Chains A and B, each alone.
Chain A
């Protein structure tokens, strides 16, 4: 099982997920969040928190998003941990409506 953040987070980075992560496994850059697969315990608390449904777990990962497994593992390894909610990226709300949420 792996839980991953995917492209819907790009340009949003709402970080609601971060507040309910029991193990602080989210990392971030200027685009989005990534989950460190070695720290994540697959509790799925973050999944319903995401306002743009960017987070998927194991069997629910759509085929066209499977490459995000690798991206999450690589990016999280070198980026800082996001431990608290931070301001969403500028334009996040517009992007959210664009995505249909």
Chain B
């Protein structure tokens, strides 16, 4: 038999999760010197992960990353197998029996909790569920958000917090020609929110927004960005941080905050998005519904570039019935895959899955479930390339495992379980249906937000 990776004996790889990391892993395999048949599994009927259901609807240009993924999907050795849940429909063990190697790129599917009592009160939401909801993710289709209060609080100062704040800040006219889900647009149209408070535990020199995301708050039709001027006074360590030439990103953020503070004297807009700093939530208070959030004021301690926040004992209360916590995503363990519960990631060494430090054969990982939820779309490209390079180094190990039959074997199981896999050719039909549904409204697409609606566009003709 020809050695593994030749046209007669291709390397068979399953990738679990069709977000950016999954597509970049497939791309890296196709660019390598060997022939790798690559099957990309996805639990939803639709591919593209957070580019579809995370990237905000008013950031359509970012979503054009999909064009590249569509090109990757044209490779003759690529196959999408969506609507199949690895872990429940098919086990990791079954994948390992069918393929030479499995790369897990399922992302960080849940959020970090605040771990406060009262987190289950009505009105306490997570950014993850809100983002999934307005982006038409089927898992969040039936979530309900009560936006009838006048004040909303967002805890967290990263780009996801910025997305949530911006969606709440924008007028319906600013949103209606995006691909925001119709059910979300309908609820946002009834929003009575006037003040949005975006709250961080550290100072204005440490906020995690990217300058581009923050700048958008200065360009909103009917919402004024607002900052208390005294909050912009910096401690010496933060001044040192901003004076460092390599820290230009944080400097830009701080300068934007200063611009906002300078331009807020004329308030002719009906909404206000306030940025607050050095506050950590310590209690969520209410009977059945959230009424008040208690914050402890923080101070910074530690050397420049290594400053942490610690409580001062001083308490501040904010009356609000709406909270979105946005303090980061977190990975979910997958049956049969070693998991680092402290980090919320799959235990691995540069993409090779390990179990208590020992290499686990055939298993690899990339993206947020490998390194934690940081970085943006492109960061995952370098991450997937690293994993695939290591996988290719291990090629000789796969030679010794007995021959594999790939998808044929999995397809039999799917048939026996009556599961209808969605291939890329099916997705193209769903994609076309969404685009068509958006046309009359002037939207790039109207997303199908229920599995059964997506499936109804297949097998009908």
Which residues from chain A sit less than 8 Å from chain B, CB to CB? 1, 19-24, 41-48, 53, 57-60, 83-84, 100-101
The smallest beta-carbon distance between A26 and chain B, in angstroms, is: 11
Chain B residues contacting A100 (CB-CB under 8 Å) are: 245
Contact of B381 with A19 in the complex, beta carbons under 8 Å: yes
Contact of A20 among B212, B245, B378 (CB under 8 A): B378
Contact of B65 among A19, A20, A41, A47 (CB under 8 A): A41
Contact of A101 with B377 in the complex, beta carbons under 8 Å: no
Chain B residues contacting A24 (CB-CB under 8 Å) are: 68
Chain A residues contacting B31 (CB-CB under 8 Å) are: 83
Tell me the bound Cα distance from A60 to B245 in angstroms.
16
- Given the interface contacts A23-B68, A101-B245, does A1 sit within 8 Å of B377 by beta carbon? no
Tell me the bound Cα distance from A53 to B379 in angstroms.
18
Chain B residues contacting A47 (CB-CB under 8 Å) are: 249
3 closest cross-chain pairs (CB), A and B: A45-B378, A22-B378, A20-B378
User: Interface of chain A, helix or strand or loop or mixed?
Assistant: loop
Chain B residues contacting A45 (CB-CB under 8 Å) are: 375-379
Contact of A20 with B382 in the complex, beta carbons under 8 Å: yes
Contact of B252 with A1 in the complex, beta carbons under 8 Å: no
Tell me the bound Cα distance from A23 to B385 in angstroms.
14
Contact of B246 with A23 in the complex, beta carbons under 8 Å: no
Contact of A101 with B246 in the complex, beta carbons under 8 Å: yes
- Given the interface contacts A44-B210, A60-B211, does A20 sit within 8 Å of B246 by beta carbon? no
Residues 207-229 (chain B) with a chain A CB within 8 angstroms: 210-212, 215
Tell me the bound Cα distance from A21 to B377 in angstroms.
8
Chain A residues contacting B64 (CB-CB under 8 Å) are: 23, 41
Tell me the bound Cα distance from A42 to B213 in angstroms.
11
B243 lies within 8 A of chain A by Cβ: no
Chain B residues contacting A19 (CB-CB under 8 Å) are: 381-382, 385
Chain A residues contacting B377 (CB-CB under 8 Å) are: 22, 43, 45
5 CB contacts below 8 A, A to B, read A22-B65, A24-B68, A44-B376, A45-B377, A47-B249
Tell me the bound Cα distance from A59 to B381 in angstroms.
26
Contact of A23 with B61 in the complex, beta carbons under 8 Å: no
Contact of A57 among B68, B212, B248 (CB under 8 A): B212
Tell me the bound Cα distance from A54 to B271 in angstroms.
37
User: Interface of chain B, helix or strand or loop or mixed?
Assistant: helix
Contact of A43 with B68 in the complex, beta carbons under 8 Å: no
Residue with the greatest number of chain A CB neighbours at <10 A, chosen from B252, B375, B378, B380: B378
- Given the interface contacts A43-B376, A44-B210, A100-B245, does A20 sit within 8 Å of B61 by beta carbon? no
Contact of B210 with A21 in the complex, beta carbons under 8 Å: no
Chain A residues contacting B212 (CB-CB under 8 Å) are: 42, 44, 57-58
Tell me the bound Cα distance from A83 to B381 in angstroms.
11
Which residues from chain B sit less than 8 Å from chain A, CB to CB? 20, 31, 61-65, 67-68, 210-212, 215, 245-246, 248-249, 252, 375-382, 385
Chain B residues contacting A59 (CB-CB under 8 Å) are: 215
Tell me the bound Cα distance from A23 to B67 in angstroms.
9
Tell me the bound Cα distance from A47 to B379 in angstroms.
12
Chain A residues contacting B20 (CB-CB under 8 Å) are: 22
Chain B residues contacting A44 (CB-CB under 8 Å) are: 210-212, 376
Contact of B382 with A48 in the complex, beta carbons under 8 Å: no
Contact of B378 with A21 in the complex, beta carbons under 8 Å: yes
Chain B residues contacting A46 (CB-CB under 8 Å) are: 378
- Given the interface contacts A19-B385, A20-B382, A23-B68, does A41 sit within 8 Å of B252 by beta carbon? no
Chain B residues contacting A41 (CB-CB under 8 Å) are: 61-65
Tell me the bound Cα distance from A29 to B447 in angstroms.
42
Tell me the bound Cα distance from A43 to B159 in angstroms.
12
Chain B residues contacting A84 (CB-CB under 8 Å) are: 385
Tell me the bound Cα distance from A19 to B379 in angstroms.
8
Residue with the greatest number of chain A CB neighbours at <10 A, chosen from B63, B67, B210, B249: B210
Other than the given A41-B61, A45-B375, A45-B379, 13 more pairs (CB < 8 A) read: A19-B381, A20-B375, A20-B378, A22-B20, A22-B377, A22-B380, A23-B67, A41-B62, A44-B210, A48-B248, A48-B249, A60-B252, A84-B385
Chain B residues contacting A23 (CB-CB under 8 Å) are: 64-65, 67-68, 378
The smallest beta-carbon distance between B399 and chain A, in angstroms, is: 27
Closest to A51 in B: B246
Contact of A53 with B248 in the complex, beta carbons under 8 Å: yes
Closest to A17 in B: B378
Tell me the bound Cα distance from A86 to B69 in angstroms.
24
Chain A residues contacting B210 (CB-CB under 8 Å) are: 44
Contact of A43 with B62 in the complex, beta carbons under 8 Å: yes
Chain B residues contacting A20 (CB-CB under 8 Å) are: 375, 378-379, 381-382
Contact of B381 with A22 in the complex, beta carbons under 8 Å: yes
Closest to B247 in A: A48
Chain B residues contacting A1 (CB-CB under 8 Å) are: 61
- Given the interface contacts A20-B382, A22-B20, A48-B249, does A42 sit within 8 Å of B62 by beta carbon? yes
The smallest beta-carbon distance between B438 and chain A, in angstroms, is: 20
Tell me the bound Cα distance from A42 to B377 in angstroms.
11
